[in-house]
Each structure stands twice: as C-alpha cells, then as structure tokens.
Amino acid sequence: MPPTPGGYPAAPPMGMPAGGVDLRRGLSTTLVALFGVALPALIFLFVGRSGQYSVIGDMLDAVEGKSVSITEQDLDDADDLFTTAQVIYSLLTVAIAVVWVIWFRRLRLNAEVFAPGQHRFSSGWAAGSWFTPVVNFWFPKQIANDIWRASSPQGPHAVSRGLLNGWWVTWIVALITNAIGGIRYNLLRGKVEGDGYAPSPPRPRATSRACTPSWPSICSRS
C-alpha cells in the first residue's frame, strides 16, 4: 500500500467486514426488478377495483330511481377484471415476500458483524417477524432500526430514522387502506343486493344468462 505524503499508510477502502455478505447485487437487483414489475400490477389492481366501484355506484343510482342501464355482463366484467389483476399482484407479492425476507435477514447478519451484540432481535426474527401476527406491526421496524443504526458510517448516535419512519408509516397505512377498501366494497355490494336492484337485460353482444345464485336479491325484482 503506498504511503501518504505524511509517511503513514493510507486507510484501505471500506468494504465488507469479515463474515459479511455482499448484498449490492443479486438479491438487491432481484428486489428492485420485482418492485418495478409490481408497480404497474398495482396500478392494474387499482383500475380493477375502480371498475367495480363504478358499477356498484351505477347500481346504487338505479336503486334511488335514476335512469341507469347496468347488465349482468357489466357485473361479471368488472369482477373478472379485478380478479385477474388480483391474481397477478398476489403472485408478485409472494415472490417479493420470499426475496425480501431472505434479503432482510442477510442485512441483519451483516449488521451483527458491524455491531456485535447490540441488536434486540436475532437473525431468525428478521425473517419470522414479518409473518407473526400482532408483533409484525412493530418487530420488523425495530429490527430495521437496529440495522440502520449499526450500518451508519458516522456511528449509531448520528443516525436519523426519518426515512425509516416514513417507510414504515406508509407500509402500515397501505395495509389499513387496503383492508378498509375491501370491507367498504363488500358493504356496498351487500347494500345493492339488499335493495333488490335488477340488472337490465344483457346487451346484444353479451350472451343472455339467467340470474346467478350470487345475485339472488338483485334478481328478485324486474
């Protein structure tokens, strides 16, 4: 190693400590690619859910006496579109979850090398905490805090957790919003069924079908 002008050896470039795993490629690249594919899939899911809300809204307008023409085919088309989007997004979510927990656990192992004995949870919890009911709302965040603190070049006391806090709040809000959206749609659909809205006859392009058992109340009036 060449000496510095002062006669002392230059510090070696910072790299992985002994026992660490290089995560700059491989899993990280795979995660970025999966997230890139998941974004348009999420937009597709949003479009599918919006289509369902649009049909339900028209049906509620019809229940209130407004002139709206909705066929059984419209109901089926909206449900089919959302189901397709949901299947695609669910498959991507499973793939992301598998790669994510492997990557997150390896981050935890690296953080142990940087700061041995300074973590609140074992590396096993880095993977398992995401799937453990109740504690999955805060254990992963605490593990991420420890990893973030241990990996800071400026030392653990100079770390701002603003970015981590924003990420975690966004994650929790997304989970809650998704749950509320599903419950609200089911309630609206139940209201339409209970009010007994009868769809208009199918358009000529659609094959005429009898009312299905899934819509008994809607089909009760004509």
What does the alpha-carbon distance between residue 144 and residue 161 come to, in Å, rounded to a whole number?
Answer: 10
pTM: 0.72
- The encoded tokens of residue 214 equal 């899934």
Beta bridge partners of 71: 200
Q: Which amino acid is at 93?
A: T
Element (H, E) at 173: helix 162-195
DSSP assigned state of 218: G
Instruction: Give the model's pLDDT for residue 72.
Output: 74
Query: What sign results for the dihedral spanned by CA atoms 145, 148, 153, 158?
Result: negative
> How many angstroms separate the CA atoms of 150 and 79, rounded?
48
Residues 150/118, Cβ–Cβ less than 8 Å: yes
What local confidence, expressed as pLDDT, does residue 37 receive? 96
Exposure b/e, 41-65, CB count within 10 A at least 16 = b: bbebbeebbebbbebbebbbebbee
For 68, the token pair is 């709206």
Contact 199, 70 (CB under 8 A): yes
pLDDT by residue, tens only, the chain of 222 residues: 555 454 444 444 445 555 556 666 788 899 999 999 999 999 999 999 999 888 888 887 776 667 667 777 888 899 899 999 999 999 999 999 999 999 999 999 988 888 888 899 998 999 999 999 999 999 999 999 999 888 877 666 566 788 889 999 999 999 999 899 889 888 888 877 776 555 555 555 444 343 333 444 444 343
Say which DSSP state 151 is in.
T
What pLDDT is recorded for position 35?
Answer: 95
Q: Model confidence over 69-125: pLDDT tens digits?
A: 777 788 889 989 999 999 999 999 999 999 999 999 999 998 888 888 889 999 899
pLDDT of residue 206: 43
For the chain, the structural domain boundaries read: 27-197
Instruction: Work out whether the CA dihedral 42, 44, 45, 50 comes out positive or negative.
Output: positive
